Amino acid sequence: MTIINALTINVEDYFQAPAFQYSIKESDWGLLSPRIEYAVDRVLLLLSDHNVTATFFVYGWTIIHFPSMLKKISDQGHELAYRHYSSPDIQHFNQRKIIEDLNRYKDLLSQLVGLRIIGYRSDAKLCRETSEWLEDELILAGYEYSCANRTHKVDMQEDSIEPIFRDFQHLNVSSHEVLTKRYEIINSNNIRFRKYESTRKLVSHYMEETKTPVLGCISTWVMDNQQPNIRADSLFKKWRHNYHLREAPLILHQLFSEYGWQTISDIYLRKVLQLNSMKKRTGRCVS
């Protein structure tokens, strides 16, 4: 059986990218000229050309300001999910506001597209700090899975996927080991910093070794090579943000041409669940 992978996409405008997380605050987003619709249109065209469906994670701010864009994403057969925004310099999390937001924006997004919203994403720091109560609140709100958004480098113990038979799933972007660290195989930076042949080998090796789908993550800003030249948090972050930005669409074109990609719900909540059910009933490996 051919393994189909899972693709997630962070709906981010250029000024919401990691390179600007300290220099541009959430309260400043409305003061900048948005280009998100241009980037999303390019992403949707690329996905359509390759018959790829993906799970799009969106901020509450985006739900309020770009409802027609999100409706277009849904109408083209993609899954929408809520993504919580956490300020990078925040010291204490407001539990009540987080709970209010995950309920409020889930309902808004569901009303907008006329479908159930079952996916949640936040950064790894928030997941760690709120681990004692966040899962319970997500389950109460009707979410079925969370998919943490992490930095390019991950700890060894963070690469596991919770058992599929639990009512709620924690999914991590697939990674590979380099010395004592693990690096995500498919994310917006890594696919631009290594040769495509290396990415292809990593994807193939992961599928062959684990017999499971690769879970990848990209951001919409990588499809916008006409971004305004604005100051980043540092010169290094600016350089990393712009590195091979023009080549990103071609890299993704190659990736989508060689491998199949679908939404998280299609892969993890349906196909993998069915395969594991078959394994449990027959007591043998199904590949």
Q: What is the pLDDT along the chain (287 residues), one digit of tens a residue?
A: 588 999 999 999 999 999 999 999 999 999 999 999 999 999 999 999 999 999 999 999 999 999 999 999 999 999 999 999 988 766 677 889 999 999 999 999 999 999 999 999 988 778 778 888 999 999 999 999 998 866 444 443 444 444 433 578 889 999 999 888 889 999 999 999 999 999 999 999 999 999 999 999 999 999 999 999 999 999 999 999 999 999 999 999 999 999 999 999 999 887 555 545 544 444 443 32
CA distance 42 to 224: 8
CA distance 165 to 277: 9
What is the amino acid identity at position 269? L
CA distance 263 to 278: 21
Please give the structure tokens belonging to residue 174: 């697939």
Alpha-carbon dihedral sign for residues 142, 88, 79, 266: negative
Contact 251, 50 (CB under 8 A): no
**Fold of the domain spanning 5-282:** TIM Barrel (3.20.20)
Q: Residue 113: beta bridge partners?
A: none
pLDDT at 263: 97
At which residue do the structure tokens 């409020």 appear?
A: 104
CA 204-208-214 angle, 5° bins: 60
Q: How far is CA 201 from CA 50, 187, 209, 237, in A?
A: 20, 15, 12, 27
pLDDT at 161: 42
Q: Which of 152, 100, 144 lies closest to 124, judged by CA? A: 152
Please give the structure tokens belonging to residue 21: 């997380």
C-alpha 129, offset from chain centre: 20
Roughly what angle, to the nearest 10 degrees, separates helices 134-141 and 95-113? 30
What is the amino acid identity at position 63? I
Residue 42 exposed, middle or buried by CB count within 10 Å (0-12, 13-18, 19+) = middle
Residue 249 exposed, middle or buried by CB count within 10 Å (0-12, 13-18, 19+) = middle
Q: What is the pTM of this model?
A: 0.89
CA distance 204 to 206: 5
